[in-house]
Amino acid sequence: MSDSIALLREKCPLVHCITNYVTVNDVANAILAIGGSPIMADDIAEAGDITAISNALVINIGTLNARTVESMIAAGKRANEKNIPVVLDPVGAGASSLRSETVDRLVKEVKFTIIRGNLSEVSYIAGLDAVTRGVDSGMAEGDADVVSVAKKVSSMTGAVAVITGRIDTIAYGSRLATVSSGTAAMSRITGTGCMLSGITGAFAGAYFDPFVAAVSAVASMGASGVRAYERTKEKGTGSFHIAIIDELSRMTDEILSAEGGIEYVS
Amino acid sequence: MSDSIALLREKCPLVHCITNYVTVNDVANAILAIGGSPIMADDIAEAGDITAISNALVINIGTLNARTVESMIAAGKRANEKNIPVVLDPVGAGASSLRSETVDRLVKEVKFTIIRGNLSEVSYIAGLDAVTRGVDSGMAEGDADVVSVAKKVSSMTGAVAVITGRIDTIAYGSRLATVSSGTAAMSRITGTGCMLSGITGAFAGAYFDPFVAAVSAVASMGASGVRAYERTKEKGTGSFHIAIIDELSRMTDEILSAEGGIEYVS
Amino acid sequence: MSDSIALLREKCPLVHCITNYVTVNDVANAILAIGGSPIMADDIAEAGDITAISNALVINIGTLNARTVESMIAAGKRANEKNIPVVLDPVGAGASSLRSETVDRLVKEVKFTIIRGNLSEVSYIAGLDAVTRGVDSGMAEGDADVVSVAKKVSSMTGAVAVITGRIDTIAYGSRLATVSSGTAAMSRITGTGCMLSGITGAFAGAYFDPFVAAVSAVASMGASGVRAYERTKEKGTGSFHIAIIDELSRMTDEILSAEGGIEYVS
């Protein structure tokens, strides 16, 4: 892992994203900044073909609609056929029947490599009662056992489960890591979760081990957030937003190691 | 009104936006910057459900299509049923039959709380002859009686009518205010109108009085624009764009009071 | 050409864009920065009407779908009827059957004024074997005769053919120019190609000579990219992105003449 950023940049994975139109520009720029190459395509007539030439697929349901849901399913199945890693960002799972049913269907029909969301979203997949209030609310329920939710979702789906919050939790079978970098300020801009899912696709497209890929992505985002916030906290959230992409583009394995806040628990 | 920003941040209203894909990221970041929480959802299968859990709905027709128009109608009706405030941004009303007919239908089928547009767009709703040349042109017809247009639209629809221009006009029944902050430079970037409509939803979702909500939103945007321009006029419009979001995130009731340029006329 | 920027700003052409949702905000802000006025509209019910009131049409297939392809065709035909210049950005042509077939159909049914893409995309139109790996990859095949590809596409379509890369090539019948400004760093952010196509529409909407319009647009983007990179290379790609729009907004005919890197070959 000491050379994860360098390897990603050497491989420059092509990352197919079917993602929401709110943060899609940031997702593309974040993938480029960390060293990948993004391609966005959401029509059913090409979704599978684009997946087939890519190194990873990222499905983000942030602004899903009847048309794009079918493309997500088709692309996901194609990725499974070709052994291409697939990342799911279940934005707002639990907030509407459409989102919940779509996540149910995605998890049933596609085998995901990594699933990343906040506690509320991942709890929905775990079958727990989740009241989602906004996609960025985090729902940091003090009494929830975050680790057990992550482990349950990993066990149910076979995916690496990533729950982001004050401390990020990454579970994969019996393997467990936490990431303590990041700052609460990241919830004051839109897109940090989506960008993280995007770069998770880039790491997953460059590595064989999805657990290491997920941990590296979370820590890269966390360290970039902290560094960006230090530079811009006097300026405001517009500058903070841009500085996160700056920091992703300047991320190195040295920074990741020193400031990523990674702890491998088991 | 001396504590309007503080109250908004305390309440953190969830603002459902069905808005155009050109400026949607700015709208989300502006809502977050001023202290609200945005959620974007435009599929008919969930639009009403998302509105029902929100504190305000913002409908912006900037990149409308046959699919999303139905979602706008459904979400607007649901908001009306639940007494959730609804903001309309009739982008480009009068520029095409589709836009004009959609605005006609929206105003007929949904009761709006606040309608915000430039003179051309709001004049269209007033039934006046409007030649819209581009969505950002403003159509500042020197001889138009802006106040009478605003009052007419407020009377016709029961909504607060906001016409933005060199001087912004806010009319609600017999109540009238003007806002003199803002700068012409704001028309050199896309999205200042959309961002304003977005934060208008945030204020409307936090207050009982839609007139005060509209005035506070317009003045917050105006003061942010002036402050951002002062900081970035030597740099260019890219930096200006980002600085507006910075300033929204740093807006306080003190700044609003000192620099908002609000005049309550009646 | 010594007053091309000044003239563009005087005329402020309205540029109708049917473009992808990844970079649409940048395209709008780039058009405003260079001095035009953007309008985005992609529904078949209004695409032709919006084109008819515009000074130029830009068609970018970056996130095409079955719905918007029909709008592109309709708008393109309307532009041809009204002698409004039309720019094509064939993003990812060759990367999927959908993209290839759409480009085939567009080139057959619409007469384009200017076609701008990377070597892989324009080679596809020329009928050459093109393996497109990602939309930003450039596919700089060292052994390809870029000039001959550009001339072939210009001859086949009657359009000005623009191939962007390390050296940009602009061919129009027997006329040929190259532009040596720009920097490889521009491929580390998304949208520089799309922004260029957008401002190409602005220049084409302001001038009678599409060759000069294309050359001016390419050189404006190239000079802006170099200036932006000089200002931000220590900061990162987020700042670089914003600085490009800054520099477009500060572009002058003096800068264009001194730093555009234009060479008229024939």
Query: What is the pLDDT, as a whole number, of residue A221?
Result: 98
**Alpha carbon of B34: minimum distance to chain C alpha carbons (Å):** 21
A190 to chain B, any CB pair closer than 8 A? The answer is: yes
Is residue B113 pLDDT above 90, yes or no? Answer: yes
**Alpha carbon of B71: minimum distance to chain A alpha carbons (Å):** 11
What secondary structure letter does DSSP report for A32? H
Pairing between β-strand A262-264 and β-strand B14-18 as defined by DSSP bridges: unpaired
Worst-scoring range by mean pLDDT, A124-138, B23-37, C114-128? A124-138
Using CA atoms, how far apart are residues C266 and B49, in angstroms rounded to an integer? 62
What secondary structure letter does DSSP report for B186? G
Question: How does the average pLDDT of chain B come out, rounded?
Answer: 93
Reduced to 3 states, what is the DSSP secondary structure of residue B164? Answer: strand
Using CA atoms, how far apart are residues C71 and C69, in angstroms rounded to an integer? 5
Contact A239 B248 (CB under 8 A): no
Reduced to 3 states, what is the DSSP secondary structure of residue A262? Answer: strand
Using CA atoms, how far apart are residues B227 and B31, in angstroms rounded to an integer? 18
For chains A and B, CB pairs below 8 A equal: 97
Contact B32 A62 (CB under 8 A): no
Q: Which 3-state string (H, E, C) describes chain C?
A: CCCHHHHHHHHCCEEEEECCCCCHHHHHHHHHHHCCEEEECCCCCCHHHHHHCCCEEEEECCCCCHHHHHHHHHHHHHHHHCCCCEEEECCCCCCCHHHHHHHHHHHHHCCCCEEEEEHHHHHHHCCCCCCCCCCCCCCCCCCCCHHHHHHHHHHHHCCEEEEECCCEEEEECCEEEEECCCCHHHHHCCCHHHHHHHHHHHHHHHCCCHHHHHHHHHHHHHHHHHHHHHHHCCCCHHHHHHHHHHHHHCCCHHHHHHHCCEEECC
For chains A and C, CB pairs below 8 A equal: 97
Q: Which candidate, A77, A91, A92, A116, places its Cα nearest to that of A203? A: A116
Which residues in chain B have their CB less than 8 angstroms from residue A21's CB?
Answer: 21, 24, 40
Query: What is the pLDDT, as a whole number, of residue A203?
Result: 98
A133 to chain B, any CB pair closer than 8 A? The answer is: yes
Is residue C2 pLDDT above 90, yes or no? Answer: no
Using CA atoms, how far apart are residues A23 and B266, in angstroms rounded to an integer? 42
A33 to chain C, any CB pair closer than 8 A? The answer is: yes
**For tokens 């208008």, what's the residue?**
B200
Which residues in chain C have their CB less than 8 angstroms from residue A33's CB?
Answer: 188, 236-238
- ipTM tops 0.85: yes
Name the phi and psi angles at A153, rounded to 5: -65, -35
Contact B32 A97 (CB under 8 A): no
What contacts A41, CB < 8 A, 6 or more positions away? A16, A18, A47, A50, C63, C92, C96
Q: What is the pLDDT of residues A198-244, one digit of tens each?
A: 999 999 999 889 999 999 999 999 999 999 999 999 999 999 999 99
Q: What is the mean pLDDT of residues C32-50?
A: 98
In terms of phi and psi (left: phi > 0; alpha: psi -120 to 50; beta: otherwise), the region of A112 is beta
Q: In this complex, which chains have at least 3 CB pairs below 8 Å with chain B?
A: A, C
Which residues in chain B have their CB less than 8 angstroms from residue A238's CB?
Answer: 29, 33, 241-246, 249
Query: What is the pLDDT, as a whole number, of residue B207?
Result: 84
Which B residues 211-250 touch A at CB under 8 Å? 241-250
Contact C33 B188 (CB under 8 A): yes
Strand partners, A70: none
What secondary structure letter does DSSP report for B86? E
Distance of CA A194 to the CA centre of its chain: 6
Contact C29 B63 (CB under 8 A): no
**Residue B241: closest C-alpha in chain A:** A238
**Alpha carbon of A36: minimum distance to chain C alpha carbons (Å):** 9
What contacts A64, CB < 8 A, 6 or more positions away? A20, A72, A98, A99, A102, B43
Rounded percentage of chain A residues whose pLDDT exceeds 90? 91
pLDDT band with cut points at 50, 70 and 90 for residue B128: confident
Worst-scoring range by mean pLDDT, A184-188, B63-67, B138-142, C80-84? B138-142
pLDDT band with cut points at 50, 70 and 90 for residue B150: very high
- How far, CA to CA in Å, does A84 sit from each of A27, A133, A147, A214, C36? 19, 33, 27, 15, 43
- How far, CA to CA in Å, does A150 sit from each of A60, A154, A187? 19, 6, 21
Yes or no: say if A262 and A176 are a contact pair by the CB < 8 Å rule: no
Interface probe with C: pick from A25, A31, A49, A194, most Cβ of C within 10 Å: A25
Start-to-end CA distance of chain A, whole Å, equals 16
Contact C248 B236 (CB under 8 A): yes
**Alpha carbon of A46: minimum distance to chain B alpha carbons (Å):** 21
pLDDT band with cut points at 50, 70 and 90 for residue B145: confident
Query: What is the pLDDT, as a whole number, of residue C3?
Result: 87
- Overall fold of domain A4-264: UDP-N-acetylmuramoyl-L-alanine:D-glutamate ligase (3.40.1190)
Q: Which candidate, B187, B252, B263, B258, places its Cα nearest to that of B225? A: B187
Q: What is the pLDDT of residues C104-137, one digit of tens each?
A: 999 999 999 999 999 999 999 999 864 543 344 4
Is residue C96 pLDDT above 70, yes or no? Answer: yes
Q: Which candidate, B260, B140, B174, B196, places its Cα nearest to that of B15? A: B196
Name the phi and psi angles at B95, rounded to 5: -80, -20
Using CA atoms, how far apart are residues C132 and C120, in angstroms rounded to an integer? 6
Yes or no: say if B239 and C242 are a contact pair by the CB < 8 Å rule: yes
Q: What is the pLDDT of residues C150-194, one digit of tens each?
A: 999 999 999 999 999 999 999 999 999 999 999 999 999 999 999
Burial class (CB in 10 A: 0-12, 13-18, 19+), A141: middle
**Alpha carbon of A142: minimum distance to chain B alpha carbons (Å):** 20
